[in-house]
Structure 1
Amino acid sequence: MAEQELDALGTRTVQRITRRLMPLLGLMYLIAYIDRQNISYAKLQMVGDLGLSEAAYGLGASLFFVAYFLFEVPANVVLEKVGARLWFTRIMATWGVITILLGFTQGTAMFYVLRFLLGAAEAGFFPGVLFALTLWFPQSHRGRMVGWFMIASALANAVGAAIGGALLDLDGLLSLRGWQWVFVATGLPAVLLAVYVFFALPDGPQSARWLPAEEKRWLADSLAREAAATPRTEHANPFRVLLDRRVLILALLYVAFPLAAYGLSYWLPTVVKGFGVSNTVNGFLNVIPWAVVALALWWVPRHAARTGETTWHIAGPALIGATALTLSVVVPGAALKFICLCVAAAGIFSGQPVFWSLPPTFLRGATAAAGIAAINSVGNLGGFVAQNAVPWIRDRTGSDLTPMLFLAACLLVGVVMVFVAQAVLRRPAPGSSSDLTLAGR
């Protein structure tokens, strides 16, 4: 087949997979993210009804990330064994049921238990999708695909913001408080979508009935050539990847991003409420920063793919985010503060798809599944830190915006770590296939 025909076949294959796969994965992530973030709106009534302090609420919210950390790597290893269809169905059904149960929380202990169980239920979804994308797309396309996938998180924050405030205003309907409606109304879609996922999501390209045979062959050949050209690590025991220095460095680097992201997104409704707006107006105002995030998530990975540069496409947005967070504290007026927070949100999120293009460059197979999950699980401990540190700083200072300085400092550490990580990735890990390749030369 001529090179021009191969290029056309490759373009057609990627476009078909993108059309058939990415909308479903994006919808799943949108619902997952709403179910993860809904607590930021429920908090506005829930804290008073359950008699929680800000610190107690922060601990309960953060238990999600403890469970996420404990169960994410095993969950991704299981996904690699049983396939995406069955495992994603299980994940969605369980997180939907637990979200609904959160709407009937009776006290602090029940709140803590259910938040922990929600983290255990959802563990493996985000890194599972990242691993699944390595089976469906060549390396040159993955950054953009992760960007498209993560746009769902921005849309989720926007949709969650729009409906979160409105659901709170259903207070008293069917004898349920507004915060109870937040959980019930956002949990049901996950349960319903789980049924569709079971029948519609293929485990991989070879089981996709909608992918023609010649396109399956092109994809398999492309991935095989890619794997042969790039030395990668694959352990017989995938859990050994937890000792890989490259995985550890990327995990430590990634902590800064969830820390800043969750610190901002969980706290943003509280900050905006401090401007003196109603619940519904609060919700609609919070659509704006996530619309800006969606635009940045579309542009940054595309620009990185076009230029082939990764370092500054990760560090640059983070640096902008840290600067904007700092300015949000010092500039006068609610409007300017809100603009800074919008820019900060875009900076925090937009470099992450480029970051997630790094692990598949040196990991593959079950080792890649475990490695991606390890990076994400350790990194998401930043969410645990944010959910405890932000309300603690708020309680000590009496300011809703002072915690943004802490988030900015963490992002700056992340910027430095980007350059450390890239230096480490350029050196082969001891005992890796890269070393074996070099030794044979």
Structure 2
Amino acid sequence: MTTSGIAGGIPAGLQDADDATYARVTRRLIPFLCLCFVIAFLDRVNVSFAKLQMLEDLQFSETIYGLGAGIFFVAYFLFEVPSNLIMHRVGARRWIARIMITWALLTAAMAFVRGETAFYFVRFLLGAAEAGFFPGIILYLTYWYPARRRSRITALFMTAIPIAGVLGGLISGWILEFMNGLQGLAGWQWLFLVEALPSLLIGISVLFYLEDGIAEARWLTVAQKQLLQRRIDAESQEKSHHSIGSAFRHPLVWLLALVYFGSSMGQYGFGFWLPSIIRATGVSSTLEIGLLSAIPYAFGIAAMLLVGRSSDRTGERRWHYGLSALAAAAGLVGAVVWRDSTAAALVALTVASMGLQCLAPVFWTLPTGLLGGVAAAAGIAVINAIGNLAGFVSPYLMGWIKDTTGTTAVGMFVIAGFLLLAGVLVVIGVRPDSTPHR
């Protein structure tokens, strides 16, 4: 059997076998991994909805909120690379389960925060607990899928972000509105308690559902396992398999880390401040804010899937990324310009969401198409860790600017600038021949 399919040249008869096998893998893995990521992202940004009540109850300033929201990512940065290397050694099943169970317990602990120091401390521990989850899943997908299939698969997996945005808006708004005061607890406390439970249950189920790789998959035939492994082995020969240190020295790793920092500035600025931006347009009901917050994420799902499919079909990555970054930046600027109109601002926020959701699926085809083995584990983690430092900078910067100026407008302009920078760096800095696919 030829392995030319890695370059797109599989004969028609063998292509059918390939497609059927990968369809089976996708049906087995992607819905479950997507569910895990939905829960992860909910627990990461539910503080943005809790903020609507929490700041008044605990007498926190916007700067305190921004620092607490962002300090999660300091721990995330510190523990990201070690976490991914541990997963590469001990296997995805046990490590992903450990991550999910520990962050569930810490999310529940957020309900009992009473002061500024405790807020910072629990958010830091939450970041340490979750470190390695996302890059671990990205690495895990490279164990199953070759690069030419990965943008669409990553897009399917990352629909979890807008899905979490839709569900988070609906569920969080309902909890804040109708559970406030129940059993003597505030709505924001119930928010953390209720949304921690799915993480705990799904985390336990990971131990029974996931396999560490192709060889352990009892739901595949021997022939299917051999087919999948041949595809991975053939592509693996084209990648760099160097030491951990070489991943840190690779110039493209650092360029992509800077790109991911820019896009993450937009992602987290949007995610942590969307409810507040909507409230600033004149919406006062927490339930209505939750419902309106779901709309931009719903449109983001469709955009992500369409752009991911187009990028895989054409093999083009740079302009798919660059134009998505431009749309995201334009949407954020539009939300500022039309902030006096809820409808107009919501349209702009929807454009921003569509652009933002398209970035990551295209982006992650770049490092995963270049690196393999322990270099992939380290390189992906380095890129994600540095990029996610924006998760600290973005909310803290926005909070400080809001306290200083009384508006989020300046912060949105700064974040739009970072998105434009990320788009330009990919278009001009990532050559068409930098990876197996453009």
Q: TM-score, normalised by structure 1?
A: 0.93
What SS does structure 1 have at the residue aligned with 2:114?
Answer: coil
Q: Is 2:336 the partner of 1:329?
A: yes
Question: Could you tell me which residue of structure 2 aligns to residue 346 of structure 1?
Answer: 354
User: Is residue 84–residue 377 contact of structure 2 (8 Å, CA) maintained in 1?
Assistant: yes
CA distance in 2 between counterparts of 1:399 and 1:129 reads 37
Counterpart in the other structure of 2:285: 278
3-state SS of paired residue (1:255)? helix
CA distance in 1, matches of 2:434, 2:351: 35
Question: Which stretch of structure 1 is more off in the superposition, 331-340 or 75-84?
Answer: 331-340
Identity %: 42
The 2-side partners of 1:216 and 1:40 are apart by 43
One-letter code aligned to 1:306: R
1:404 matched to which residue of 2? Answer: 412
Which of 3, 6, 17 lines up with 2:25 in the alignment? Answer: 17
**1:195 has 2:201 as partner:** no
Is residue 2:191 matched to residue 1:182?
yes
Query: Which residue matches 2:13?
Result: 5
* Superposition deviation, residue 163 in structure 1: 0.8
Question: What residue is the counterpart of 1:245 in the other structure?
Answer: 251
8 Å contact kept, 2:332–2:348: yes
Alignment match, 1:132: 140
Instruction: Give the drift of 1:37.
Output: 0.8
1:380 matched to 2:388? The reply is: yes
Corresponding residue SS for 2:143: helix
Contact 2:263-2:359 at 8 Å conserved across structures: no
Query: CA–CA distance in 2 between the matches of 1:280 and 1:265?
Result: 17
Q: 1-side partners of 2:59 and 2:80: how far apart?
A: 32
Structure 2 counterpart of 1:269? 275
Stretches of 4+ moved more than 6 A in 1? none
Matches within 5 A, 1:34-433: 34-169=42-177, 170-228=179-237, 230=238, 232-236=239-243, 238-274=244-280, 275-331=282-338, 333-423=341-431, 426=433
- Cα RMSD (Å) of the superposition? 1.5
Distance in 2, matches of 1:379 and 1:396, equals: 26
Equivalent-residue separation in structure 1 for 2:330 and 2:291 (angstroms): 25
Give 5+ residue unaligned stretches, structure 1: 429-441
**Deviation digits for residues 225-254 of structure 1 (CA, Å, limit 9, x no counterpart):** 2223x2x22223x24412211111100111
Deviation sequence 1:190-236 (CA, Å, 0-9, x none): 111111110111111110110111111001111122223x2x22223
After superposing the two structures, state which structure 1 stretch, 206-215 or 327-336, moved more.
327-336
Letter in 1 for 2:200: V
Residues of 1 paired with 2:274 and 2:337: CA distance? 17
- Judged with a 3 Å threshold, the aligned counterparts in structure 2 of structure 1 residues 356 and 384 are, in CA distance, closer, same or farther, namely same
Secondary structure at 1:203 match in 2: coil
**Amino acid of the residue matched to residue 327 of structure 1?**
G
**SS state at 1:286 partner:** helix
Would the aligned equivalents of 2:266 and 2:418 in 1 still touch at CA under 8 Å?
A: yes
- The one-character-per-residue Cα deviations of 1:125-183 (angstroms, maximum 9, x if unpaired) are 10001001001111111111110011011100110111111111211111111110110
Counterpart Cα distance in 2 of 1:403 and 1:362: 34
C-alpha contact (below 8 Å) 1:162/1:287 kept by paired residues: yes
Shift of 1:427: 6.3
Distance 1:105 1:135, change over 3 A: same
Task: Report the 3-state secondary structure (helix = DSSP H, G, I; strand = E; otherwise coil) of the residue aligned with 2:112.
Answer: coil
List alignment gaps of at least 5 residues for structure 2.
3-10
Deviation at 1:426, TM superposition (A): 4.1
Is the CA contact 2:41–2:161 (under 8 Å) kept in the aligned structure 1? Answer: yes
Partner deviation per Cα, 1:243-285 (whole Å, 9 max, x = no partner): 2111111001110111111101111101112222301111011
CA–CA distance in 2 between the matches of 1:208 and 1:295?
31
Query: Who is 1:439 aligned against?
Result: none
Q: 1:300, 1:351 within 8 Å by CA — same for their partners in 2?
A: no
Shift of 1:188: 1.0
1:433 maps to none
**Match of 1:432?**
none
Deviates more, 1:349-358 or 1:412-421: 412-421
Deviation at 1:404, TM superposition (A): 1.5
Matched residues in 2 for 1:164 and 1:427: separation? Answer: 43
Q: Letter of the aligned partner of 1:259 in structure 2?
A: M
- In 2, the alpha carbon distance for the partners of 1:209 and 1:46 equals 47
Please say if residues 288 and 342 of structure 1, whose CA atoms lie closer than 8 Å, have aligned partners that are also in contact: yes
Contact 2:68-2:120 at 8 Å conserved across structures: yes
CA distance in 1, matches of 2:216, 2:397: 46
